Chain A
Amino acid sequence: MALGLAALLIWQGFIFLRDTDLPRLLVALLAIGGSGVLMTLVYVATDAVLHALPPAWTRRLQPLPFVLPGMVMVGYFVALPMVRTFIASLFSRDGSVFVGLANYVTLFTEPFMLVTFRNNLLWLIFGAGLTVAFGLLIAALADRSRHEKLVKSVIFMPMAISLVGAGIIWKFIYAVKDTSEPQIGLLNAIVVAFGGEPEAWIQLIQPWNNLFLIVIVVWLQTGYAMVLFSAAIKSVPSDLLEAARIDGASEARIFFSIVVPHIRPTLIAVTATVVIFTLKIFDIVLVMTGGQFGTDVIATQFYNQYFVNRNAGLGSAIAIVLLAAVVPVIVYNLRHFSRSEPL
């Protein structure tokens, strides 16, 4: 009976939250309170049902109330969509005609898609590369500084800023005005101060304008790389470093021969995370250029094709390409998991 009540509550709650016109904050609070009550109710109800069953079944079904709601949501929102999106990618723009791999052929032959892939490559090489490099450099420098905490806070701070906000910050830096007026963008002001001509940086000579967008993400996520590298560097045994120093090894030598090999697992993990983040980059490009001037990336192209051009088939195919790109990381994660997990 409790189960039935819970189901009724879910259904009514759903209808209410979907159709309500109450002030949104009140609704949000209601949802928070309601979901807490509801979840407890679901668990209590299932638990009661379980204990009414024969003991063997109780034991077997015990995990259900704990794991089921989460797995249903993960299944519906993440696992199942992989299959559904793949199927959609084999159909025409409105999903009515089966077209086989035609969308993928379009994807890898259309000039606008090739520009997109080239840009993503730039993002990967420069975006992920510079983030890891700066993160490592700052972590290594800060490790021996008296102001380590301050430095880390400063570098880490942009992590709290949204990509849209960061886009505004940097668009302002790249702002360009006519030569007869004072420049209000920092970059052009510096260029003019050194006798140069102001440029419209993000529209500039393609494809290098992409670099001016990439810088933003390096600025944003270097803090993440730095924090993890810093924790890893601190775990290098100090007697190892002492021994190397007594032997007269140079600091650079110590860093590359002792520290870097020691933090290799972190290096791989951070690189993978940064690569995935960079691969999915979307907000920055949409805010800065809207994908114009040859700056489209896979994620903006996905948005264009699916939501602007209403081409569900091609959009899905692009999403699948994005998924394919992270498969190596998935495999790595799984391997790591199966090795470390004594389940």
Chain B
Amino acid sequence: MTVTTKRRPSPRAALSGIALALLCLLWLLPTVGLLVSSFRTADDVRSTGWWTVLPHRDWRTVATIEPGKDIDRNGIMEFAGVSGTFEELRAGLVAADGRRVIWLGNRRLGTVQVQELQWKSNLSLTVSNYENVLTGKQYEITNERGVTETLRGDDLSNAFLNSLAVTLPSVLLPLVVGAFAAYGFAWVRFPGRTALFALVVTLLVVPLQISLVPVLSDYVRIDLNGTYLAVWLAHAGFGLPLAIYLLYNYIASLPRELLEAAMVDGASHLTIFWRIVVPLSGPILASYAIFQFLWVWNDYLVALIFIGSQPNVQVLTMRLAEIVGSRGNDWHLLTAGAFVSMILPFAIFFALQRHFVRGLTAGSVKS
């Protein structure tokens, strides 16, 4: 006998559909705004919202009137069939025919504009923000008052390579060392195994701030601070508890018969590890690698502490944070720069989402 599922009443389904759609919109908008802005010209980004690239009705000036010297600016004035005080005109007065009369500028020198509502969209897109932020070349922008400024971009392509140089070894190192340790815990019996593994579990959630003070003082003492080696080792050390824990859970669940058969054949642990365990652990190794990659690539604190202030060795997150601090209103650079820093994580994320999700699920405290 089959149980027939009662169909949910459709109003509720519709309601939850709408709620989901709204939530998705809410979650997407911030990133979309960033992406759209990064392709707009510097002037546009500064003067209008990114959503104005969409078709919208906006006032467009059709005529400009010079008020003339002899008009009484403190009384009622009349322009294009509309009359009002300076304050009213400043806010804009709409005439019977739908036109708007608005005073722009100050009381003494301003002009009066007659405007009509028209459909328009500020759709002039460019890739020059990316050029400027990647190459650090000089560029000019002209603002709405007609003043031209010469600005310098930023050398993010260099920072991108730095990020890559920091991230790759920082991922591989804990992966290899962690896999060895996980195998040791899972398949080699030795006294003190439980206690040592309990230590790993304890250290899973220790905040890395704990480590920064002593490790930095050691680094300074052996003249290691500011090198990439320092950052690689630190990331590897901080990432290892999770690596060992995650890989252990997987490796310990491999079929016992498989490993015992090899052992009976006289294979050493090292052979079993490389020939059997590593090939079978592909999925979890991938999960951890993605996890650690995103962590290191997006890290700011560890880089800030161990890399230091030399701009040419800084990673993307550091450069971006520095632009926020020094040129926080250059949104054309910031939006493009932020997107440069996201390209690689997004690519990996969308290509390997399945592995990433598995890693997250396996890494959550419950086993």
Contacts and interface: CB of A to CB of B under 8 A. Distances in A.
Interface stretch (A80-88, A105-113, A118-126): A80-88
Interface in B200-227: 200-215, 217, 223-224, 227
Contacts of B49: 182-186, 189
Nearest to B294: A160
A323 interface: yes
Interface in B156-179: 161-162, 164-166, 168-169, 172-173, 176-178
A169 interface: yes
Interface string A86-99: 00100000000000
Interface string A49-70: 0000000000010110111011
B168 A77 contact: no
Nearest to B171: A32
A319 B365 contact: no
A228 interface: yes
Nearest to A164: B317
Contacts of A133: none
Given A35-B172, A141-B19, A336-B365, A162 B162 contact: no
A207 interface: no
A219 B176 contact: no
A17 B207 contact: no
Nearest to A276: B205
B301 interface: yes
A287 B273 CA distance: 44
Interface string A314-343: 011011101100100110111011101101
A69 B172 contact: no
B364 A269 contact: yes
B6 interface: yes
B244 A154 contact: no
A311 to B, nearest CB: 11
A31 B201 CA distance: 29
A283 interface: yes
Given A168-B335, A282-B300, A330-B205, A161 B342 contact: yes
Contacts of A341: 194, 197
Contacts of A245: 6
Nearest to B17: A145
Contact of B364 (A145, A165, A228, A283): A228
A167 interface: yes
B320 A168 contact: yes
B179 to A, nearest CB: 9
Contact of A340 (B50, B304, B367): B367
A141 B199 CA distance: 39
Nearest to A166: B30
B324 interface: yes
Interface in B334-356: 334-335, 337-338, 341-342, 345-346, 348-350, 353
B3 interface: yes
Given A77-B238, A299-B209, A172 B33 contact: yes
B318 to A, nearest CB: 8
Interface in A258-293: 265-266, 268-270, 272-273, 276, 279-280, 282-283, 286-287, 290
Contact of A154 (B24, B223, B240): B24
Nearest to B320: A164
B241 interface: yes
A169 B331 CA distance: 10
B237 interface: yes
A290 to B, nearest CB: 7
Interface string A291-303: 0000000010011
Interface in B228-256: 228-229, 232-234, 236-238, 240-241, 244
A79 B161 CA distance: 32
A301 to B, nearest CB: 10
Contacts of A332: 365
Given A171-B328, A334-B202, A341-B194, A326 B207 contact: yes
B296 to A, nearest CB: 10
Contacts of A330: 202, 204-206
B366 interface: yes
Contacts of B212: 306, 319
Contacts of B130: none
Interface in B37-72: 37, 45-51
Nearest to A95: B217
A182 B180 CA distance: 59
Contact of B24 (A25, A151, A160, A302): A151
A39 interface: yes
A62 B183 CA distance: 12
B180 A269 contact: no
**A-B interface, 10 closest residue pairs, ranked by CB to CB distance from nearest:** A77-B237, A66-B184, A70-B181, A162-B298, A67-B184, A160-B349, A84-B214, A24-B165, A28-B165, A81-B211
Interface of B: 3, 5-6, 8, 12-13, 16-17, 19-20, 23-24, 27-31, 33-34, 37, 45-51, 161-162, 164-166, 168-169, 172-173, 176-178, 180-181, 183-185, 188-191, 193-194, 196-215, 217, 223-224, 227-229, 232-234, 236-238, 240-241, 244, 268-270, 273, 294, 297-301, 304-305, 313, 316-317, 320-321, 324-325, 328, 331, 334-335, 337-338, 341-342, 345-346, 348-350, 353, 357, 360-361, 364-367
5 contacts: A28-B228, A77-B240, A81-B215, A151-B23, A290-B325
Interface of A: 14, 17-18, 24-25, 27-29, 31-32, 35-36, 39, 43-44, 47, 60, 62-63, 65-67, 69-71, 73-74, 76-82, 84-85, 88, 134, 138, 141-142, 144-145, 147, 150-151, 153-165, 167-173, 175, 181-186, 189, 219, 222, 224, 227-228, 231, 242, 245-246, 251, 265-266, 268-270, 272-273, 276, 279-280, 282-283, 286-287, 290, 299, 302-303, 306-307, 312, 315-316, 318-320, 322-323, 326, 329-330, 332-334, 336-338, 340-341, 343
